[in-house]
Amino acid sequence: MELKTDTSIDAMYAAGQVVGRALTAVRDAADVGVSLLELDEVAHQVLRDAGARSPFLGYHPSFAPTPFPSVICASVNDAIVHGIPDGHRLRDGDLVSIDCGAELDGWVGDSAISFVVGEPRAEDLRLVETAERALAAGIGAAVPGNRIGDIANAIGSVCRSAGYGIPDGFGGHGVGRRMHEDPPVPNEGRPGRGLRLRHGMVLAIEPMLIGSGADGYHAAPDGWTLRTNDGSRAAHTEHTVAITDTGPRILTAR
């Protein structure tokens, strides 16, 4: 794990702002009838205009059968994370989660949002709002002297108290010159446990919620997309956050 200098954190902020602009552009473009491939191109154009590259495009972890083919993950309705953009055209009421990264001058930013297209269902709005509250709680615990378990417990407490499930084994991570660095940041855990937080650590904090309260999920045939076992809807939010002596600094603010 690399502790970043203040100069490096500033550079990561620049990368994070590209991500923020890309996510804002995608959300603005998302409408009934728009395809996920069209949203991917919207994000790709923002990255190109900024002189940034995508850390998602061509990423090939050991669990995946093929490299990831897009610059965003687009997960709709029962897809939790890692959805591959395709020709699916958004329908009224679709719950959409978009995850995006950008690498600029050797530093990476990573962030995700969830939103509803068209006329929302009340239960979907509550799910998205709870995901945002869980993210805010996790960020609030990201201060020097706390531990990774304090972030995990803050996220998990918000999710569980609202009656939502948490997919086991997936959560946040360190981020810096690579998209995934140590340490892992679970979305549920015991306070006071794990690595102690220090100035210069940079973490991607990313709650993932399953609307039914169940924790089960499975991989879709594409080998990437994770879907809920019971068909219930899911939400995913994320920010890249620097641990500093003056408090958490959100590097991907929109």
Give the number of domains in the chain. 1
Tokens read off for 209: 């919620």
The predicted structure's pLDDT at residue 234: 98
Q: Would residue 215 count as lying in a domain?
A: yes
The predicted structure's pLDDT at residue 188: 98
Contacts 24+ apart (CB under 8 A), 151-154: 151/185, 151/189, 151/197, 151/203, 151/205, 152/185, 152/186, 152/187, 152/188, 152/189, 152/190, 152/194, 153/188, 153/189, 153/190, 153/191
Q: Would residue 135 count as lying in a domain?
A: yes
The predicted structure's pLDDT at residue 242: 98
Tell me the whole-structure pTM to 2 decimals.
0.97
Query: What range defines the domain where residue 165 resides?
Result: 6-250
**CB-CB neighbours of 29 under 10 Å:** 13
pLDDT for 93-126, tens place per residue?
Answer: 999 999 999 999 999 999 999 999 999 999 999 9
- CA distances, 60 to each of 23, 152, 159, 180 (Å): 23, 27, 30, 12
Q: Would residue 1 count as lying in a domain?
A: no
The predicted structure's pLDDT at residue 36: 98
pLDDT for 141-155, tens place per residue?
Answer: 999 999 999 999 999
Instruction: From 223, 225, 241, select the one nearest 109 (Cα to Cα).
Output: 241
The predicted structure's pLDDT at residue 8: 98
The predicted structure's pLDDT at residue 7: 98
Q: Which residues of the chain have pLDDT under 50?
A: none
DSSP letters for 90-101: P-TT-EEEEEEE
The predicted structure's pLDDT at residue 1: 84
Domain harbouring 234, CATH code: 3.90.230.10
The predicted structure's pLDDT at residue 131: 98
